[in-house]
Amino acid sequence: MEFGLSHEQQMVVDTVRSFVENELYPLEDEVERSGQVPRALGREIQDKVGELGFYAPNIPEEFGGGGLDSLTFTLLERELGRASMALSVFWGRPSNILCAGDAGQRERYLLPCVRGEKIDALAMSEPDAGSDIRAMKTFARRDGSDYVINGTKHFISHADVADFIITFVATGEEETPSGPKKRLTCFLIDRDTPGFDIRPGYNSVSHRGYHNNILIFDDCRVPASQLLGEEGSGFDLANTWLAATRLTVAATCTGRARRCFDLCVDWAANRRQFGQPIGRFQGISFKLADMITGIDAADWLTLAAAWRLDQELDANRQIAEAKLYASEMLARVTDEAIQIFGGMGLMDDLPIERFWRDARVERIWDGASEIQRHIIARDLLRPLGA
Amino acid sequence: MKILIPIKRVIDFNVRIRVKKDGSGVETANVKMSMNPFCEIAVEEAVRIKEAGKAEEIIAVAIGGRQCQDILRTALAMGADRAILIETDVEVQPLAIAKLLKATIEKESPGLAILGKQAIDGDNNQTGQMLSALLGWSQAAFASNIEFTDTGLEVTREVDGGLETIAIKLPAVVTTDLRLNEPRYVKLPNIMKARKKPLDVMTPQELGVDVAPSIDVLDIAEPPARAAGVKVADVNELVDKLRNEAKVI
């Protein structure tokens, strides 16, 4: 076993961290205050990352991306996770699923994303289809050589800045061992498609400035050339290409927890009460010990899952474990951070309350904790027929 | 022309330094190490000179343990062409470093050596000056600007009274001050290319240099804690204190 990073991996970590600290941290207060990132500022971040050759680091080199392996990309995500998501979203990491497109789709969507000319978003959730994704109601009806889409999606992250949306809709129903389920199909929907509207979403307590949107499809007509993969292949496509995105949640949680933790250690060493640093009290020092133990455990779970992806080993359960553990660890760490900082931890003069707020969504999106536990348990029991 | 850039691996500038309880040194266990920031500026300057077409090859040199390969790889990713590690476990002092660099320069024949003005660990601020004396080369320490002229270099130096501009002939030793440039972020493609660039390892013995320390360190101690400040009632009192107590105006 090898637990160390290569020189190259260490340089990636160092570069991303210093970029995040120098270029993104100084912008965070304004994002929190305004709840917005001006598009020109987003463009500036994209350009800086592009100059570094770090844009689209997850996409294979044959398509012009950085070609990082899963482990190195996960390290990059971990460091990016330190910063506000409203800002880090402009460090383009196009969805890998775009690699599944045909030559024309790669030309029109993947390559412009890699070049930073287009931004993608991904639409799955609906008001009546959250964890039960195959209950979705948005439906595409075949009409000649076109499809006509009707329905509503919500919670669609950064659709406001996206040029097109990778959209999963139902195109029929099929019998499964657990009853009838929707057959899913994936479409690439340009934002200016007639009958398609991207509306502002809800005000979320987490990730201010990183907006969620509501998508309305009202007789939205798209040609069959917008279909990603085969009709009805959406569920398999999602399983093949999107499982790894859960790992990015684990990685970003770990990075953010570490940033929060470092502030706690500093505070515990310098804040004095009863004539001594509060870190001298076991009430505080034991918290720090538990926090770093959780952070390290989440880190190793996450990196080990990424390593399995690189070895082409089955990693489904390990990714679920990492996502589950890291997101729940972040909740504990940020909650304890507020306890360590006391009243000041709740004030928006410090970023602690923000880490705490931002942490909450991590246990919900990209597969809620309950879904991750379901995946893990199913992996254990299904081979035994239970 | 070749440029030689000697670089040093030091405790990262973000780390709060802790002195060991027995006064034998500072705590380095579990501490992040990086390239000395002044050395990063030296690498950046060399890369800019090469990009401007005034140098053909940049050679990065580090002296120390095997771990120093990490800063050499960083220098290669920033734009150095090849690297040399002079491997030793001895804590090498400035004079020995200067002798090792002189021996390396005699092998490699660069026209310019750019060093950080000092390393942020020992803060000795000696190696560059010693190296130029040993080689008999021109010297420009604390550079905040370097221009190429027909006869050599015009270097702006940050000195106590302000800025001093001097003309020197090549070959030369230049040491960098903080404001010479802002080092670049390492680019991803260059990180990957750095892996394929040559990194040679040699020893002080091969260079015929005795690196045994000539200075014994007796004790290392924390600087005294700063006393609390004083509140003054008005500007007149402040001026009075500055003039008569602090004697700075």
| A21 to chain B, closest Cα gap in Å | 12
Residues 6+ apart with CB under 8 A from B176: B38, B41, B42, B45, B114, B115, B116, B117, B142, B143
pLDDT of amino acid B227? 85
Average pLDDT over every residue of A303-313: 96
pLDDT at A1 over 80: no
Q: Using CB atoms and an 8 Å cut-off, which of residues 66-85 of chain A contact chain B?
A: 66, 68
Residue in chain B closest to A64 (alpha carbons) equals B189
Average pLDDT over residues A282-290: 98
Tokens 């515990």 map to which residue? A268
pLDDT of residue A188 exceeding 90:
yes
- Mutation for A interface: B18, B188, B193, B195, most A CBs within 10 A: B188
Asked if A8 lies within 8 A of B185 by C-beta distance, the reply is no
A-B CB pairs within 8 A amount to 43
- Which pLDDT score, from 0 to 100, does residue B23 have? 87
The average pLDDT across B9-23 equals 91
| Residue B193 C-alpha, separation from nearest chain A C-alpha, in angstroms | 10
Question: Looking at residue A358, what is its pLDDT?
Answer: 97
Among chain B residues, the shortest Cα distance to A7 is held by B70
pLDDT at A221: 97
The pLDDT of residue A178: 82
Q: Whole-angstrom distance between the N-terminal and C-terminal Cα of chain A? A: 34
Q: Is the dihedral of CA A84, A90, A92, A97 positive or negative?
A: positive
Name the residue of chain A whose CA is nearest to B74's CA.
Answer: A11
- Compare CB distances from A53 to B70, B73, B187 and report the shortest one's residue: B187
In whole numbers, what is the pLDDT of chain B averaged over residues?
94
Name the residue of chain A whose CA is nearest to B70's CA.
A7
Residue B72's contacts (CB-CB under 8 Å, 6 or more residues apart) are B7, B60, B62, B80, B83, B84, B85, B199
The domains located in chain B, with CATH, are 2-244 (3.40.50.620)
Output the DSSP codes for B145-214. EEEE-SSEEEEEEEETTEEEEEEEESSEEEEE-TTS--PPPPPHHHHHHHTTS-EEEE-TTTTT-----S
Q: What is the predicted ipTM?
A: 0.83
Per-residue pLDDT tens over the stretch B81-137: 999 999 999 989 999 999 999 999 999 999 999 999 999 998 999 999 999 999 999
Q: Per-residue pLDDT averaged across A227-242, rounded?
A: 92
- The reported pLDDT for the residue numbered A291 is 98
Structure tokens at B28: 């380095």
Q: Is A151 an interface residue toward B (CB < 8 Å)?
A: no
- Domains in chain A and their CATH numbers? 7-93 (1.10.540.10), 120-231 (2.40.110.10), 243-384 (1.20.140.10)
Q: According to the model, what pLDDT value does residue B226 have?
A: 86
E strand or H helix that includes residue A12: helix A7-19
Q: How far is A11 from chain B (nearest CA, A)?
A: 7
Mean pLDDT, all residues of chain A: 96
What sign does the CA torsion over A326, A332, A334, A340 have? Answer: negative
Position A13 pLDDT exceeds 80: yes
Looking at residue B223, what is its pLDDT?
87
Residues of B with CB under 8 A from a CB of A: 34, 69-70, 73-74, 77, 185-192, 194-195
pLDDT at A269 over 90: yes
Residue range B138-145: average pLDDT? 96
pLDDT score of B28 more than 90: no
Q: What is the mean pLDDT of residues A126-143?
A: 93
> DSSP for A114-150?
HTTS--EEEE--BTTBSS-GGG---EEEEETTEEEEE
As a whole number, mean pLDDT of residues A43-48 equals 96
Residue/partner pairs of A291-297 with CB below 8 Å, 24 or more apart:
A291/A257, A291/A261, A291/A264, A291/A332, A291/A333, A291/A336, A291/A337, A292/A261, A294/A257, A294/A329, A294/A332, A294/A333, A295/A254, A295/A257, A295/A258, A295/A261, A295/A329, A295/A333, A297/A325, A297/A329
- How close, in Å, is residue B137 to chain A by CA atoms? 35
Query: Burial of A285 by CB count in 10 Å (0-12 exposed, 13-18 middle, 19+ buried)?
Result: middle
pLDDT at A297 over 80: yes
Task: Give the per-residue pLDDT at B165.
Answer: 96
Tokens at residue B173, please?
A: 């030793």
